[in-house]
Structure 1
Amino acid sequence: MKTKPASPLLRRTALLLCAAAALPWGALAQARSDSKGDWPMRPLRLIVGYASGSSPDVQARLLAEPLGKALGQPVVVENKGGASGNIGADAVAKATDGHTIGVIGNGPLTSSKYLYPKLPYDPIKDLAPLAMIGSAPLVLVAPHAAAADVPGYFKALKGGGGGGQGNYGSVGTGSGGHLGVELIKEAMGLDMLHVPYNGGPAVVNALLGGQVQMALLPASTVMPLVQSGKLAALAVSSSKRSPLAPGVPAMPEVGAGQVDIEVWNAVMAPASMPADHRARLAQALEKILHSPEIRSKLLAQGWRIDDTSAASLERRIRSDSKVYGDLIAQKHIRIE
């Protein structure tokens, strides 16, 4: 007895079933999960654009475990240092796997687009804000002798009738310490030359040795030297005093107006990541960052935690970009 040939519809169905059976179970689970919006289904990469042991790296590792618990998948920290954080930021911006985010400093998100003519990513178009981790003002310091007469010290550094020209140090062209002092110079009429050094310790040695008369450095770096009487703290680089630098005046108190320069780190995602996935990450991060345990650890490291929301972070990126962009254009600062 002859069997009747299978219809085209039945043949196609059989082929589809065979193909499905040949797929790995993980791929089938991923397909079913995606259809239900169950994300993530595999570990997340948390890229840090700086070396192991740097403040962004420490913060990333502090967040990785609680974030993994909140998402139900491990979060693996991956260091991609170089180019002042720009290599890591570019890796996050170009990630298309849907499971990559990054901890990025304020430089790659605000000033880099103006400093580097060939920057391979656009921080506004290619990256999406998830959460502000923490921020900290810098401290404007000078050799200890300046502590005896801070107003007179500033007067001596003014141009014209104020006296001679001084030098100020930074950890490099385009760094927060460089751009911050340029803003302070504009606000106070100071006449000073920039001297870049390779790292904070070299700047501190130049201050102690009298090679430079001023520098803007993290509180965690200089406050122990201020408290031991080796350096003088002239001001914090913000419009209000900071508990991270007790007793140090704010910028308006020394005649610098509303200069408000801080360093900060944030968690960012590729702009291509689906909005609902970014929303889940932002919600989890905000809860983690406001937990007493994480807040106390960040504070102990010298970071202030205020509004951590993605919306606030986006506003900060845009406002700081405007300040730095205008300054860099005015001063013709470039890094080739």
Structure 2
Amino acid sequence: MNRRGFTVGAAAALCLGALKQARAAGSYPDRPLTFVVPYPPGGAADQFARPYAQALGDRLRQTVIIENRPGANGNIGSAYVAERLPADGYALLLGSLSTLAINPHIYPSMGYSVLDDLQPVSLTHSMPNVLVVGADTPYRTLGQLIDAARRKPGSLEFGSAGIGNTMHMAGELFQLRAAVKLLHVPYKGGPEALNDLLGGRIPMMFNNLPAIVPLVRSGKLRALAIADDKRSPLLPGVPTMAEAGVADATSVVWNGILVRHGTPPGVVTQLNAAMGAVLGDPKFRDLLTAQGYDILSSTPARFAALLRKDYAAMGDLVKRANIRME
């Protein structure tokens, strides 16, 4: 083939590719979507994902099927979307600060690249972590817990959803700011750690606000401090970390939806618009806000910028806390 024939052929191929993308975006979605939640059922992320999937499906006029793929602090489900499912907009991933910004600095091999293999679509919500203790423990204030930790360094246990999870990182940040040494007990997920806390097998943990509000209100757990810069209207009697005497110990977890890199831009734009409509719906917002979720919404660019910023910040915290896989 001569150069002119090659050029014409290449141009035709480019046009055909653009036409296919346009057709894909124009008919999208014409079949059910899979919404991968890389955490166990029953946790705060899963509790958000289920009503969100229903509302998004109603908006797109397609079924959105939840698929829980927990393991390795979200890596298994995230790698499944980033490497194994097509880049066509039919596979959505619920990502978090923990999986996307912390894991890359802890796991020697992720199986995918967060920044290269995933395309942010929209932030969805955030939630602060709360330091909670068992109702049978003697700790009624943060000061009492700190005093106990200082008397026996490294003996007071705190549970988490796993190494590198934001519950773990909240505990590490707390230790740095409060000048105490605790003993980390990692679990396979937040619900498992919470069950052991309720059963008296561990004395304390940091957990997402939506997961602990009903348990604190019923007296099954005691909340000592919220790792946010403001109190929660759901637990107005619980002080912030700063109010309780530990400054700069904020731990607020963001979540958002991503697709595989290479998804047609038109599909990403359509998804972002549908997600924004759901997240802006007062009925949806009120339902989830009442459970402790702070509803967010964003452009893909804003989400990507936040991811890059926290990717760097969490890498610094991991290094300072000397966190590594055991």
TM-score by length of 2: 0.79
| Residue identity matched to 1:115 | I
Q: Could you report, residue by residue, the CA deviation over 1:109-151 in whole angstroms, capped at 9, with x for unpaired residues?
A: 111111211101111221111112222112112345221x542
1:38 aligns with 2:26: yes
Contact 1:85 1:104 in 2 (8 A): no
Give the Å deviation of 1:103.
3.3
Alignment of 1:156-171 (within 5 A): 156-158=148-150, 163-165=151-153, 166-171=156-161
| Residue identity matched to 1:331 | A
Contact 1:40 1:73 in 2 (8 A): no
- Alignment gaps of 5+ in structure 1: 1-30
Q: Could you report, residue by residue, the CA deviation over 1:1-38 in whole angstroms, capped at 9, with x for unpaired residues?
A: xxxxxxxxxxxxxxxxxxxxxxxxxxxxxx78835951
In structure 2, what is the equivalent of residue 80 of structure 1? 69
Contact 1:219 1:245 in 2 (8 A): no
Contact 2:87 2:261 in 1 (8 A): no
RMSD (CA atoms):
3.1
Distance across 1 between alignment mates of 2:292 and 2:103: 24
In structure 2, what is the equivalent of residue 62 of structure 1? 51
1:154 aligns with 2:146: yes
In structure 2, what is the equivalent of residue 9 of structure 1? none
- Secondary structure of the residue that 2:183 maps to in structure 1? strand
In structure 2, what is the equivalent of residue 328 of structure 1? 318
In structure 2, what is the equivalent of residue 14 of structure 1? none
Contact 1:236 1:245 in 2 (8 A): no
| Residue identity matched to 2:139 | A
In percent, how many aligned pairs have the same letter?
Answer: 34
In structure 1, what is the equivalent of residue 120 of structure 2? 129
Distance across 2 between alignment mates of 1:150 and 1:334: 27
Contact 1:49 1:87 in 2 (8 A): yes
Contact 1:240 1:251 in 2 (8 A): no
In structure 1, what is the equivalent of residue 185 of structure 2? 195
TM-score by length of 1: 0.77
| Residue identity matched to 2:258 | M
Q: Could you report, residue by residue, the CA deviation over 1:34-67 in whole angstroms, capped at 9, with x for unpaired residues?
A: 3595141532333332345554444444233443
Q: Of the two structures, which has the highest relative contact order with CA contacts closer than 8 Å and spacing of 6 or more?
A: 2
Q: 2:109 aligns with which of 114, 118, 126?
A: 118
Distance across 1 between alignment mates of 2:127 and 2:108: 28
> 1:307–1:124: structure 2 CA closer, same or farther, 3 Å change rule?
same
Alignment of 1:205-216 (within 5 A): 207=197, 212-216=202-206
- Secondary structure of the residue that 1:191 maps to in structure 2? coil
Contact 1:47 1:100 in 2 (8 A): no
1:100 aligns with 2:106: no
| Residue identity matched to 1:104 | L
- Alignment gaps of 5+ in structure 2: 1-18
| Residue identity matched to 1:126 | D
Give the Å deviation of 1:327.
2.1
- Secondary structure of the residue that 1:258 maps to in structure 2? coil
Give the Å deviation of 1:285.
0.5
Please identify the structure whose Cα radius of gyration is greater.
1
Distance across 2 between alignment mates of 1:265 and 1:92: 16
- Secondary structure of the residue that 1:125 maps to in structure 2? helix
Paired residues, what number? 303
Distance across 2 between alignment mates of 1:69 and 1:42: 13
Give the Å deviation of 1:242.
1.8
Alignment of 1:1-336 (within 5 A): 34=22, 38-40=26-28, 42-43=30-31, 44-94=33-83, 95-106=85-96, 107-144=98-135, 145-147=138-140, 149-158=141-150, 163-165=151-153, 166-197=156-187, 199-200=189-190, 203-204=193-194, 207=197, 212-335=202-325
